[in-house]
Chains A and B, each alone.
Chain A
Amino acid sequence: MSLRGIGVVYRKELIDSLRDRRTLFSMIAVPLLLMPVLTIGLLVVLIRQVGQASEEVPKVMVLGGADSPKVRAELEKLEGVEIVAQKPDYAEEISSKQIRAAVEIPAGFDAKLAAGEPMSVKIYMYEGELKSGFGADRLQKFFRDVRDRAIRERLEARQLPENLIRPFDIKQQNVAPPEKVGGAILGGLVPYFVILLSLTGAMYPAMDLTAGEKERGTIETILCSPVSRTHLVLGKFLMVLTASVATALLSIISMTVSFGVGKKMLQGVAHGAADTVLQITLTAKAVISVFVMVLPLAVLFSAALLAIALFAKSFKEAQSYISPLMIVVVLPAVAAVLPGVELSTTLALVPVLNTSLVSKEIMTGTYHWNYIALIFASSCIYAAVAIAIAVKLFQREDVLFRT
């Protein structure tokens, strides 16, 4: 039989799989539901959290300063904080979030400031706690202003120019285009989800078309037809690949749409972190490029899953073989998201990690063509090896009739 056999098997597997609720769920429902929930949901939660934290008037405690009425009076007038009565257990109060921060004014602050004596102001806060950070920031800004004012007064008194202590200013200017800013944040996340979903999309059909057939007793039925085993495995492989690519494609479309909707939703409530998110642009070129890079990986996943699942006697056994594969894929995909992990010739040969890293670069608008070619070629070779193994396994009686 010519290649027609592959087409006949593929067509049947496609019809069969599209009638299977579990395959439809992993192939269509997961990317279409998961992406909006993750993208819009997480953004909304994040912005709401930041918004609430920045809108809250933090309660702060002033420790000491009884002998410094001037600074205390200014503090009392400070907008954006609420001064609460002094208590000895201020650290406990901060930990239990009763207050957000505390400031310790050294004894004789007003007098020492006037006399030009050295002293230090201590601000207590809870590191890593967003609202505590906002409280501490306001106190720090207040005392920085007091210090700057004192410096100016001292310079004026000595008739010295202000630039004596500040000979030049330092200004930081962003030159990265918006897609680079966005890419730095989303660069790792987008390929991470696409890679992961191309794996999960292929998982169920791979098990259903191999171990599932053994379990249901249809493997013997199909083996007594004249289709060659190579054509049989290639037909099945194409179906698994279809599921994998469809899942990846739907997840990319869903992610792009969700992100666009998420951005529109945020435009009305832009503050702080939202401004950064609003600068992010997912360009069509970057998204398509990531998809192309993920294609050979989808081929590798489909063939590898098919080979592993074929080895199992039952669906349940196939699940126990394939579940650890998730970790094998998730770890390199996560490693690529970590800051500091950069593309190198060696890493360009590590499957999954190479695609994650190059996709991260593509998302920031950087196209290292030599790496892209190397990664695409190596991924294609791994994929071809995986297909060859799957075909070889389909020829082995001890695998097909494993009892």
Chain B
Amino acid sequence: MIEAQGLVKRFRDKKRGEVRAVDQVSFRCRPGEIFGLLGANGAGKTTTLRMLATILTPSEGTATVAGYDVRKEPQKVRSCVGFLSTATALYGRLSAQEMVEYFGRLHGLDERTLRLRIDASFERLEMNDFRDRRCDKLSTGMKQKVSIARTLVHDPSVMIFDEPTVGLDVMAARTIIGFIRECRDRGKTVIFSTHVMSEVEKVCDHIGIIHDGRLLAEGTLAELRQRSGKQDLEDIFVEVVEQ
């Protein structure tokens, strides 16, 4: 479960002075559900997700992730979260297996459990052919698989995906979308940010439209359609943002 309550993030900017990148954002995401955070570039999606993953500390408000407060227990939050974005790169000089092992050890897994988890995920993701190959020698699709194995190694109950398909080709993007669905089916709490309308329509159970740091609308796709009287998500998005 993720519960954000009045999240605010302020930054100091030399030119613009104080900037509220995220402004009073509240929402709830339940286990077995995909919450889609939809917004244009610079809307505040990444900052919101970084606060949920405790990479950034909120300026105001708070959130509970898997029952832990992001302000008070950030390390416990991180141990329950799998975070994947195009910005979370791999260590090029480590092999695929070493990369996953490293994160397993950081999560405090004992060697036996780590071995079992790695063997299982490498088998399922068909990674055994390149498990000893250095990450900088892998193709984009292979790298995505390593990233997925890295986020799953500690079996997190909450998954956070920050624009995970940006810059990926169709096949790699399909792998990621499939993986997001699989996480929901396994009962995980999933939050997913994107600016691609079709991805939201395909996988999200709940949608939040974020613009200028504020969450302007929230609901299921059906609820949003009903409220706006429009069928196309892009039209709904434009209407909400322009209001």
A contact residues vs B (CB 8 Å cutoff): 1, 4-5, 8-9, 12, 15-16, 19-20, 216-218, 220-221, 223-228, 397-398, 401
Q: Kindly list chain A residues whose C-beta atoms are within 8 Å of the C-beta of B76.
A: 226
Given A224-B78, A226-B79, A226-B107 in contact, is the A8-B89 Cβ separation under 8 Å? no
Q: Kindly list chain B residues whose C-beta atoms are within 8 Å of the C-beta of A5.
A: 106
Q: Which of A220, A226, A228 contacts B85 (CB 8 A)?
A: A220
Q: 9 more A-B contacts (CB under 8 A) besides A220-B89, A221-B90, A223-B55?
A: A8-B106, A218-B88, A218-B90, A218-B91, A220-B87, A221-B88, A221-B89, A226-B75, A226-B107
Q: Which of A1, A16, A223, A224 contacts B91 (CB 8 A)?
A: A16
Alpha-carbon distance A382/B78, docked complex (angstroms): 34
Does chain A have a CB within 8 A of B193? Answer: no
Q: Is the interface of A mostly helix, strand, loop or mixed?
A: helix
Does chain A have a CB within 8 A of B179? Answer: no
Tell whether, in the assembled complex, residue A1 and residue B81 are in contact, meaning their CB atoms are under 8 Å apart: no
Q: Kindly list chain B residues whose C-beta atoms are within 8 Å of the C-beta of A398.
A: 11-12
Q: Kindly list chain B residues whose C-beta atoms are within 8 Å of the C-beta of A8.
A: 102, 105-106
B contact residues vs A (CB 8 Å cutoff): 11-12, 53-57, 75-76, 78-79, 81, 83, 85, 87-94, 98, 102-103, 105-108, 134, 150
Closest A residue to B160 by beta carbon equals: A224
Tell whether, in the assembled complex, residue B78 and residue A225 are in contact, meaning their CB atoms are under 8 Å apart: yes
Q: Write the nearest CB–CB distance from B225 to chain A, whole angstroms.
A: 34
Given A1-B108, A8-B105 in contact, is the A220-B55 Cβ separation under 8 Å? yes
Closest B residue to A9 by beta carbon equals: B106
Closest B residue to A223 by beta carbon equals: B55
Alpha-carbon distance A226/B89, docked complex (angstroms): 17
Alpha-carbon distance A189/B85, docked complex (angstroms): 51
Tell whether, in the assembled complex, residue A16 and residue B55 are in contact, meaning their CB atoms are under 8 Å apart: no
Q: Which of A1, A218, A224, A401 contacts B83 (CB 8 A)?
A: A224
Alpha-carbon distance A8/B94, docked complex (angstroms): 14
Alpha-carbon distance A12/B94, docked complex (angstroms): 9
Given A19-B93, A218-B89, A397-B57 in contact, is the A224-B81 Cβ separation under 8 Å? yes
Alpha-carbon distance A384/B98, docked complex (angstroms): 32
Q: Kindly list chain A residues whose C-beta atoms are within 8 Å of the C-beta of B91.
A: 12, 16, 218
Given A12-B94, A12-B102 in contact, is the A226-B56 Cβ separation under 8 Å? no
Alpha-carbon distance A15/B93, docked complex (angstroms): 9
Alpha-carbon distance A8/B93, docked complex (angstroms): 16
Alpha-carbon distance A9/B91, docked complex (angstroms): 13
Q: Kindly list chain B residues whose C-beta atoms are within 8 Å of the C-beta of A223.
A: 55
Alpha-carbon distance A215/B92, docked complex (angstroms): 12
Q: Kindly list chain B residues whose C-beta atoms are within 8 Å of the C-beta of A224.
A: 53-55, 78, 81, 83, 88
Alpha-carbon distance A1/B107, docked complex (angstroms): 8
Tell whether, in the assembled complex, residue A1 and residue B78 are in contact, meaning their CB atoms are under 8 Å apart: no
Q: Write the nearest CB–CB distance from B67 to chain A, whole angstroms.
A: 15
